[in-house]
Structure 1
């Protein structure tokens, strides 16, 4: 839409887009370009959050979650998932369960690496990220890239479930530190 201002200059206005979704894209003055990879990660985070949030308790509410990458040294999707869960906990949002993200890389020799660095991700033949719930340690979401066998998939799920225990322990300790009266 083009509007003529009082001083005679043409001013271009962007249309403001609004849609009902959990994670909205920022509408600001700076350009924000998302590729296929970013949209896929956004969808994984959105669907995991929607699966654990008890949104029926607040039917006319809106929630905006903004995750900003400051530094990427690998395991980005699992970092997004962990940051989202901790943000929900900090906000006191009702959830059916907590969740965490765990990334596994399968090296060319078949070795499974948890929480791989960006270099290890590039050198791996497969990259698998899982969202694990805190109550039954079920897989809420999976995102995979590369080639792997069914046995390797099962091994990565088992390793991710074991690693999730440490992440949930970190959540507990973080909440205790934040809300402890002895600080």
Structure 2
């Protein structure tokens, strides 16, 4: 359901109102971060099919380990061992989300949007470059 809602939010459905677009995701191997992988693959498939999109969706998973370090794109085993994990999905825009006030995680202050900025910038640039190469090929 999350995948469906994400794809519906990026597709421009008013251009061809009497059409249906089906996206089928087949999981061959799951080594962690399955939902972000499915979102990125489905978005690439929509671009390849020429479906009009508002923007690209770029997804990544990050988790917090027992020693409070943050891992981007963890493996399945790292996800299982993690204290917490989150799936982050961003539109491919130049805007970066930065909180107005400092965040607190327990008693430790968290840098202003550093994880959001890093994942948004790095993943957007990589995925956009990949999609441009495939479209121009």
TM-score interval for Structure 1 and Structure 2 normalised by the shorter chain: 0.7 to 0.9
TM-score (norm 1): 0.62
| 3-state DSSP of counterpart to 1:68 | coil
What pairs up with 1:77-156 in 2 under 5 angstroms?
77-137=35-95, 149=105, 151=110, 154-156=113-115
Q: Deviations over 1:34-82 (max 9, x none)?
A: xxxxxxxxx2211111111100111111111110100000010110100
Structure 2 segments unaligned to the other structure (5+ residues): 98-103
TM-score (norm 2): 0.81
Which structure has more relative contact order (CA 8 Å, sep 6+)? It is 2
Larger Rg: 1
Residue number in structure 1 paired with 2:9:
51
Separation (CA, whole Å) in 1 of partners of 2:111 and 2:86? 10
Separation (CA, whole Å) in 2 of partners of 1:58 and 1:89? 16
Q: Does 2:10 match 1:61?
A: no
Structure 1 segments unaligned to the other structure (5+ residues): 1-42, 140-147
User: For residues 93 and 69 of structure 1, do their structure 2 counterparts lie closer, same or farther at Cα, with a shift above 3 Å needed?
Assistant: same
Q: Does 2:122 match 1:172?
A: no
RMSD: 2.2
User: For residues 111 and 94 of structure 1, do their structure 2 counterparts lie closer, same or farther at Cα, with a shift above 3 Å needed?
Assistant: same
Asked if structure 2 preserves the Cα contact closer than 8 Å seen for 1:103 and 1:160, the reply is: no
User: For residues 130 and 59 of structure 1, do their structure 2 counterparts lie closer, same or farther at Cα, with a shift above 3 Å needed?
Assistant: same
Would you say how many aligned residue pairs link Structure 1 and Structure 2? 127
User: For residues 115 and 56 of structure 1, do their structure 2 counterparts lie closer, same or farther at Cα, with a shift above 3 Å needed?
Assistant: same
| Shift, 1:137, TM fit | 4.6
